Amino acid sequence: MTTSAVSVEGVSKRFRLYHERNQSLKASLVRGRRARYEELWALRDVTLEVREGTTLGLIGKNGSGKSTLLKSMARILRPDEGRISVAGRLSALLELGAGFHPELSGRENIFLNGSILGLGRKELKRKFDDIVAFAGVEPFIDTPVKDYSSGMYVRLGFSVAINVDPAVLLVDEVLAVGDESFQRKCREKFADLQAEGRTVVIVSHDLDAVRDLCHDAALLEGGRLERAGAVGEVIDHYLGRVHLDRVEEDALGARWGTGEGRIQQVEVLGAGGGASTLVRTGDPVVFRLHYHTSEPIERPVFTLGVYTVEGIHVSEPNTRNAGLVPDKVEGRGHVDLRVDRLLLVPGTYDLTASLTDHTGARPYDVRHRAFRFEVMPGTPLERHGVISLGGRWEGEALDT
């Protein structure tokens, strides 16, 4: 039976939001009353167990209580209700380099910051070379840290904190410090800690990183624990709920055209054949464009553009390139783009739909990034990039 490294029992944390504050005793006497404030419950009755030797990701929207819970675990904040127990030495990477003195050298700050994190001088001497090498600041170790670049500063802070050899490591949004090379070293260090059976709790908005690094996840919403369990299940639940919240916010993008024909609606038909704004990688999908013309349009061309939510132009198929140009259309109807296997990786995508003449020079109606849909993990299971190649791995080493 796995024991708990961190136990959170019925924890609630309250903050006061002041509308005005009395800055002095005189101000209090003159006003004749206390400063006005309202109470904000950042955490409400949170109960959570972090299994020893596992990595837990805390996820949720801004203001959901993730960092407050992490700081409570680190004993920086004291819960107003409930209790938290941590087994073994704890190290927290919350604000890198928070214990550094700008006038002291990197060498002096290693001993200062390390002592704050609980390491003795003898232990710090033994780890000194590893800390400096990991941070990559050897030529500047005797230079005051006030002269360090921001990257050097956070690398050294990260290196000190991660070499404390904690039983429990708490990490708050510091997975992306430094350049690509240093981030790779950080991930390798996390892998070493996990292999050694250390317990790690991570707060991050980078869901791909949480999937890659964590065994379990906990979703906070409005200060309450909404869901906890296997990392993939919790993240998929979160993405699904976020997507449903977005559906109501699907404001129309730019629109232009001469108006003889109009794109009335774009639908995404999922594997079951029904309209949906939520599909999976590898599913069969139909993109349906509903149109209406006020007069006959000769040799029309229908186009569908796909964009990532960040604006990357993924694809733009049209009926002309497919060799499907009717002599004319009139009235109401629809055209379908049938995709037997959708190879978009998980993410949020926008659709642009247009109706033009055969040359494309005359747009009757263009609705730019006016429709949004979400792709959830499916088959093949890939996380990065924009599209899957849809290939198949083979080789003697892979035969089972």
The domain that holds 334 is classified in CATH as 2.70.50.60
Over residues 63-88, mean pLDDT: 91
Give domain status of residue 81, yes or no: no
Instruction: Out of 218, 244, 270, pick the residue that ends a domain.
Output: 244
Give domain status of residue 388, yes or no: no
Instruction: Please provide residue 306's backbone torsions phi and psi, each rounded to the nearest 5 degrees.
Output: -115, 130
**3-class secondary-structure state, position 327:** coil
- Tokens found for residue 4: 């708990």
Count how many domains the chain has: 2
Tell me, yes or no, whether 239 and 111 share the same domain: yes
- Tokens found for residue 62: 């801004």
Q: Give the pLDDT of residue 243.
A: 56
> Residue 211's domain is classified under what CATH number?
3.40.50.300
Whole-angstrom Cα distance, residue 352 to residue 371?
7
Give domain status of residue 153, yes or no: yes
Q: What are the pLDDT digits (tens) for 151-191?
A: 788 888 888 877 877 888 888 876 556 667 777 787 788 88
Per DSSP, the residues of 337-365 read EEESS--BPSEEEEEEEEEE-TTSSSEEE
Tell me, yes or no, whether 131 and 232 share the same domain: yes
Q: Give the pLDDT of residue 361.
A: 81
- Single-letter residue type at 73: M
Cβ contact 301:357 at 8 Å: yes
Q: What are the pLDDT digits (tens) for 194-225?
A: 888 889 999 988 787 888 888 999 999 999 99
Give domain status of residue 95, yes or no: yes
Give domain status of residue 15, yes or no: no
Tell me 318's DSSP state: B
Over residues 83-96, mean pLDDT: 81
Tell me, yes or no, whether 206 and 111 share the same domain: yes
Tell me, yes or no, whether 213 and 67 share the same domain: yes
Per the model's pLDDT, the better-predicted residue between 360 and 72 turns out to be 72
Kindly state the greatest CA–CA separation across the chain.
87
If residue 205 lies in a helix (H) or strand (E), which one and from where to where? none
Q: What are the pLDDT digits (tens) for 1-51?
A: 568 899 999 999 998 876 665 556 555 555 555 667 678 899 999 999 999
Tell me, yes or no, whether 161 and 224 share the same domain: yes
Cβ contact 106:171 at 8 Å: no
Q: Give the pLDDT of residue 340.
A: 95
Cβ contact 256:366 at 8 Å: yes
- Single-letter residue type at 44: R
Q: Give the pLDDT of residue 317.
A: 96
Cβ contact 4:52 at 8 Å: yes
Give the dihedral of Cα atoms 340, 343, 349, 352; nearest 10 deg: -50
249, pLDDT greater than 50: no
Q: What are the pLDDT digits (tens) for 318-367?
A: 999 999 999 999 999 999 999 999 999 998 899 999 999 998 888 999 99
Whole-angstrom Cα distance, residue 226 to residue 238?
9
Give domain status of residue 290, yes or no: yes
Tell me, yes or no, whether 95 and 239 share the same domain: yes
Question: With bands split at pLDDT 50, 70 and 90, how would you rate the model's confidence at 251?
Answer: very low
Whole-angstrom Cα distance, residue 302 to residue 124?
68
Tell me, yes or no, whether 194 and 223 share the same domain: yes
Question: With bands split at pLDDT 50, 70 and 90, how would you rate the model's confidence at 398?
Answer: confident
192, pLDDT greater than 90: no
Tell me, yes or no, whether 120 and 189 share the same domain: yes
Cβ contact 328:358 at 8 Å: no
Per DSSP, the residues of 251-312 read ----EE--SSEEEEEEEEE-TTSSB-SEEETT--EEEEEEEEEEEEEES-EEEEEEEETT--
| Lowest-pLDDT range of 120-129, 224-233, 235-244 | 235-244
Instruction: Out of 200, 223, 244, pick the residue that ends a domain.
Output: 244
Tell me, yes or no, whether 216 and 240 share the same domain: yes
Q: What are the pLDDT digits (tens) for 90-131?
A: 877 776 556 688 899 999 999 988 887 778 889 899 999 999
Instruction: Out of 188, 221, 244, pick the residue that ends a domain.
Output: 244
Give domain status of residue 266, yes or no: yes
Tell me, yes or no, whether 160 and 194 share the same domain: yes
Give domain status of residue 288, yes or no: yes
Provide the CB-side half-sphere exposure for 92 (13 A, CA): 18
Cβ contact 277:374 at 8 Å: yes
Q: What are the pLDDT digits (tens) for 271-327?
A: 888 898 899 999 999 999 999 999 999 999 999 999 988 788 999 999 999 999 999
Q: Give the pLDDT of residue 339.
A: 96
Give the dihedral of Cα atoms 325, 315, 369, 208; nearest 10 deg: 150
353: domain range? 256-376
Tell me, yes or no, whether 124 and 178 share the same domain: yes
| Lowest-pLDDT range of 241-250, 328-337, 388-397 | 241-250
Tell me, yes or no, whether 287 and 325 share the same domain: yes
- Tokens found for residue 261: 């024909």
